[in-house]
Amino acid sequence: MARSKCRQEGRLALLDLDEKQFTSFFESLGQPAYRARQVWHWIYRRHVLDFADMTNLPSGLRQDLVARAFLPLLRVLDEKKAADGLTDKLLFGLPDGKSVEAVLMRYDGGEKSRRRRTVCVSTQVGCPIGCAFCATGRQGFVRNLSSGEILAQVLYFSARGLVSDDGPVTNVVFMGQGEPLLNFPAVWHAIEVLNSSEGFDLGARHITISTAGVVPRIRELAKKGLQVGLAISLHAPTDELRTRLVPLNRRYPLAILMAACREYVAITGRRVTFEYAMIDRINDDLVHARQLAGLLKGLSCHVNLIPLNPTEAETWHPSPHNRVLAFQAELETGQIRSTLRVKRGGDILAACGQLRSRCT
């Protein structure tokens, strides 16, 4: 359980608390448990983040809350909207002056898919993994986000959606800045609140965690009992190439990572998604496709093929469309299902690997 370490002028960050801690805090104020439930519902069901707007609370309690607690609100430092209107990227200022980016993606669905509003949240300021093609990794690691700072990203978009045409957030993906499984206590606390029927009430299958392959935490996640999705940032089918692209592979090489993925499938019954950035003449040869098919053979999985999203300092280029299609056909021959990811937000640097902690 993530304990609150985030205080502001001696006040407690309420979003860092679980339901039990939340109730205990209200008891310390001399308030009955139902007052805690009222505030909890104001925050997570009605997405109200100002004590003054919690109109069924006594004025004295609202004054006590202002004096003793705070909701770690995020300041919007910059906002960009993609030309197609389907993606928004926001740069949020944190209470300590640091900043992170989060993204809202709109999918209007069709006959075979539902309307979705997906929020891609960050879990760290910067990232310690240092993937060769990722803008976040090049800025280095600064600190973990608290569970409240993670939840605040979702709550911001939810509150905004309720007063606009967007509607509520329907999906949350932990695919923004940072490695979620290296901040697992805070991430898991946020997931429990998002999933709780007394909290945000978001189905576990509408939540996905992406990881570069932190094996011990993949095994821990498998045993948690919630049906959250798991996505592995793979990007290469051999240890030599993957170590070049994803340095974490030195610690958890492919044999160990694949064993953890198979264990995850065996325990949860859910397939694993593998993210594969297609980089021209680096990892997109037909030989690579055959190697990838061999690596994943017999594993319940799906591969997302993602033409590399350009970053400012990168000399690599996305694979041409014909090479991506040939790669995909070779995977199909090897009986590995895949999808060519629809690109979103590339024109505002909001796509995979493009997020940074500054205005762009």
Q: Which residues are catalytic?
A: 101, 352
Report the amino acid identity of residue 8: Q
- 248, 183, 171, 179: which is closest to 211 by C-alpha? 179
| 264 burial via Cβ count (<10 Å: 0-12, 13-18, 19+) | buried
* Residues paired with residue 88 on neighbouring β-strands, in sequence order: 81, 104
In 98-247, which residue ranges form alpha helices assigned H by DSSP? 135-138, 147-162, 184-195, 215-222, 239-245
Count CB neighbours of 44 within 10 A. Answer: 23
Q: Which two tokens stand for residue 102?
A: 């989060």
Strand positions, DSSP E, the chain: 7-8, 11-13, 69-70, 75-81, 87-93, 99-107, 116-120, 124-126, 141-144, 171-174, 207-211, 229-233, 272-278, 301-307, 338-340
Torsion of CA 306, 311, 313, 318, to 10 degrees: 30
